[in-house]
Amino acid sequence: MRDYGKIQSAFWTSPDVIKLSDSAKLMAVYLLSCEHSNIIGCFRLPSAYIVEDLNWSIESVNETLSELFENGFIRVCKQSKWVWILNFLSFNKPENPNQWKAARKAQKQIPEQFQYKQEFIKYFNQIDPLNETLSEPLQNPLKRVYTETETETETETEKPKRFKKPTVEELKKYISEKTLNIDANKFHDFYESKGWLIGKAKMKDWRAACRTWNNKEKANNQFSAAPKIKELAS
């Protein structure tokens, strides 16, 4: 259980949020900040908890959760009564090694009955620095560390290379090699307009950003084809 939840001010002007009903917006804020949530945005939340917290009818709760599901904001598992706020970690990434330790622990507590568990683990691993770029613990920065662009000739204490934004041709080549479903021009124009920032931080690895972008596009496409949920767990 968290003491508080963080909601970015851009939440209210996001096109995905603007199109939601007022009830769905309130439910989204509740999910992001309720006491039942956790550091990874994937947690157990029976509908009865929401009924009690918001003083809504079970019908209103199920209808609103269904709207958020259809709009790609959450995934809900009726069997396990767990909820996953999609892309939560993309905007609320753990900020230090201790938080990452807590996040990995929370990830391991997701039950097998949660039908989206493997999808969540894949998403989590793409964000987790230990899975994506590091082979040694974070507290040992001078140990040998390999990334996908390193070679065997690099030294143990070599400083990280300064970020160099990719050209459209470099993007197209990488996208082709990894068979990613990304428009290179759209990706380049988007981050060029943002000064190659992710949130407020400078981008460190554009290849990793490509893979994350591809994962988001895949999740959005899956949700656009998802059938409407008639009834959720109570």
- Sequence spans of domains, the chain: 9-128, 133-220
Predicted pLDDT of residue 215: 86
Predicted pLDDT of residue 39: 93
Cα 16 to the chain's mean position, in Å?
15
Architecture of domain 9-128: Orthogonal Bundle (1.10)
Regions of the chain where pLDDT drops below 50: 132-158, 229-234
Is-contact 75 83, C-beta < 8 A?
A: yes
Nearest alpha carbon to residue 216 among 86, 128, 98:
86
Q: What's the predicted TM-score (pTM) here?
A: 0.55
Q: What is the DSSP string of the chain?
A: --S-----GGGGG-HHHHTS-HHHHHHHHHHHHSTT--TTSEEE--HHHHHHHHT--HHHHHHHHHHHHHTTSEEEETTTTEEEETTHHHHS---SHHHHHHHHHHHHTS-TT-TTHHHHHHHHHHH-HHHHT-SS-TT-TTS----TT--TTS-TTPPPPPP-PPPHHHHHHHHHHHT----HHHHHHHHHHTTSEETTEEPS-HHHHHHHHHHHHHHHHHHHTPPPPS----
